[in-house]
């Protein structure tokens, strides 16, 4: 059975990112499915897998320690997407849109794998689920 769960469910629920294809009716259940599961869902899973691979060192992942904690997954997904959005637009104030970020990456770099991930490792490492408040 194909997994239709959006890999960005938790970040979307936490308002760390957004996606117009997320089924927000499932928001209260804590899990969301993709309204157009085939093409878009596969691309989102591909992006999360690239984030995982590129951030192995910064998250101290080894061959023996392959299981990620919830916080590591949030760092990868939220920090990675926010970092990509920052690199692509220079913007650090708006919540990134998953599909727009993916499409812009493809336009600029040809594919997700060609994105300069070394430029967002700090975003992944430094991501905190505690939102900054202005005083």
- With H, G, I as helix, E, B as strand and everything else as coil, classify residue 18: strand
Report whether 104 contacts 88 (CB < 8 A). yes
37, HSE (Cβ side, Cα atoms, 13 Å): 9
Taking the C-alpha atoms of residue 25 and residue 32, their distance in angstroms, rounded to an integer, is 8
- Give the residue extent of every domain in the chain: 9-126
* Confidence (pTM): 0.84
Report whether 82 contacts 127 (CB < 8 A). yes
- Of 94, 74, 88, 75, nearest in space to 116 by CA: 88
In this predicted model, what pLDDT tens digit does every residue of 22-64 receive, in sequence order?
A: 877 766 666 777 777 677 888 999 999 999 999 888 887 766 6
In this predicted model, what pLDDT tens digit does every residue of 10-28 receive, in sequence order?
A: 898 888 999 988 877 766 6
Q: Token pair of 90, please? A: 């220079």
What is the DSSP-derived secondary structure letter of residue 70?
H
pLDDT of residue 65: 62
In this predicted model, what pLDDT tens digit does every residue of 69-115 receive, in sequence order?
A: 888 899 999 999 999 999 999 998 999 999 999 999 999 999 999 99
């Amino acid at each position: 059975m194909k997994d239709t769960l959006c890999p960005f469910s938790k970040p979307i629920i936490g308002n760390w990112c957004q996606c117009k294809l997320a089924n927000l009716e499932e928001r209260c259940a804590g899990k969301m499915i993709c309204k157009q599961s085939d093409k878009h869902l596969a691309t989102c899973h591909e992006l999360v897998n690239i984030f995982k691979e590129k951030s192995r060192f910064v998250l101290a992942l080894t061959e023996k320690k392959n299981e990620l904690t919830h916080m590591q997954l949030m760092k990868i997904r939220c920090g990675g997407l926010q970092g990509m959005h920052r690199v692509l637009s220079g913007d650090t104030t708006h919540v990134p849109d998953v599909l727009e970020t993916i499409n812009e990456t493809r336009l600029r770099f040809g594919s997700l794998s060609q994105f300069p991930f070394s430029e967002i490792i700090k975003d992944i490492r430094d991501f905190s689920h505690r939102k900054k408040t202005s005083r």
